[in-house]
């Protein structure tokens, strides 16, 4: 039950993060935001571990799996995902990310020996179907500037695979012994920073954040708030979810982000929720209920 609740809370946190980060990205750019969010989260996590004297002693293999999980999920997986936005757009990219639970289930069967019951598999399909109803809805009068191309689909699928593989590697670390969620998140994010940050510096793609945020304090506020809600809390709860339930189920619950975003978009941007949106939400909730009962 703890794992399932943590998975839903992760989806809620990531939904709020997407709104905050979209505002920040419009002001400072997606690449700058991507690096800054990881740096902010690293500092927040390190401060939390030191302030609350959290035990960070782990085995060498646990460090290895968590570090590799960060590189595979946050560096490689997210890079493919962000790149796919340019080719097929966020709507189709989000649908492809719904493949992640299935990929995670297959990988967890081969690498972790996890088996999901037929009722659990049925619940996963119902939830993903509900998500697809929402994500695939086309707004009347809007012509998409994106086209579905084989390369774009490849990028989106690789993004989903990166997320699934990242969760599997994290689960391997948890299976070796108890790990505090904040410690596990710190190792994942710090590993991605030490890989990602030097690359953008070498290619001169990173701007001085002090000068950047001096010109736009609102961008700083959106970035910092999003870093707290997303990388700091969201990823931590995602790891708690993975450590307390099967990876496929945790991944399915975390994939309900499009459903969680419906009321947020209605409240903040006054977007009307269609009948199809309501049906998709109810369908996804029904699937979630089955996952809780499996």
State how far the alpha carbon of 68 is from the alpha carbons of 31, 164, 226, in Å.
22, 13, 24
Residue pair 7/245 in contact (Cβ under 8 Å)? The answer is: yes
Give the single-character DSSP code of 220: H
Residue pair 252/95 in contact (Cβ under 8 Å)? The answer is: no
Residue pair 226/17 in contact (Cβ under 8 Å)? The answer is: yes
**List of residues 6+ apart from 39 with CB closer than 8 A:** 193, 197
Give pLDDT tens digits for 171-216. 999 999 999 999 999 999 999 999 999 999 998 989 999 999 999 9
pLDDT value for 228: 97
Task: Determine the distance from the C-alpha atom of residue 282 to the mean position of all C-alpha atoms in its chain, rounded to a whole number.
Answer: 22
Give pLDDT tens digits for 132-176. 988 887 765 555 677 888 999 999 999 999 999 999 999 999 999
d(CA 284, CA 278): 10
pTM: 0.92
Q: Taking residues 110-129, what's their average pLDDT?
A: 93
In the chain, where are the structural domains located? 2-293
pLDDT value for 94: 80
Phi-psi group of 270: left, alpha or beta (phi > 0 → left; psi -120 to 50 → alpha; rest → beta): left
């Amino acid at each position: 039950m703890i794992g399932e609740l943590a998975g839903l809370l992760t989806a809620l946190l990531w939904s709020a993060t997407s709104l905050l980060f979209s505002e920040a990205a419009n002001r400072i750019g997606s690449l700058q935001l991507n690096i800054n969010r990881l740096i902010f989260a690293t500092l927040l996590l390190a401060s939390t571990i030191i302030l609350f004297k959290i035990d960070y002693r782990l085995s060498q293999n646990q460090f290895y799996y968590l570090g590799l999980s960060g590189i595979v999920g946050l560096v490689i997986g997210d890079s493919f995902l962000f790149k796919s936005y340019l080719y097929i757009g966020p709507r189709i990219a989000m649908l492809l990310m719904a493949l992640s639970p299935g990929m995670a289930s297959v990988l967890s069967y081969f690498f972790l020996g996890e088996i999901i019951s037929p009722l659990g598999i049925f619940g996963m399909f119902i939830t993903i179907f509900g998500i697809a109803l929402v994500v695939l809805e086309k707004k009347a009068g809007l012509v998409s500037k994106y086209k579905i191309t084989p390369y774009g689909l490849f990028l989106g699928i690789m993004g989903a695979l990166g997320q699934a593989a990242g969760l599997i590697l994290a689960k391997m670390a948890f299976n070796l012994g108890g790990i505090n969620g904040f410690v596990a998140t710190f190792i994942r994010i710090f590993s991605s920073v030490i890989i990602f940050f030097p690359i953008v510096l070498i290619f001169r793609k990173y701007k001085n954040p002090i000068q950047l945020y001096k010109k736009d304090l609102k961008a700083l506020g959106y970035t910092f708030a999003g870093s707290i809600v997303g990388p700091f809390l969201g990823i931590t709860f995602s790891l708690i979810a993975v450590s307390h339930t099967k990876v496929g189920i945790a991944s399915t619950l975390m994939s309900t982000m499009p459903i969680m975003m419906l009321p947020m978009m209605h409240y903040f941007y006054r977007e009307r929720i269609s009948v199809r949106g309501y049906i998709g939400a109810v369908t996804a909730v029904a699937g979630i209920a089955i996952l809780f009962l499996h």
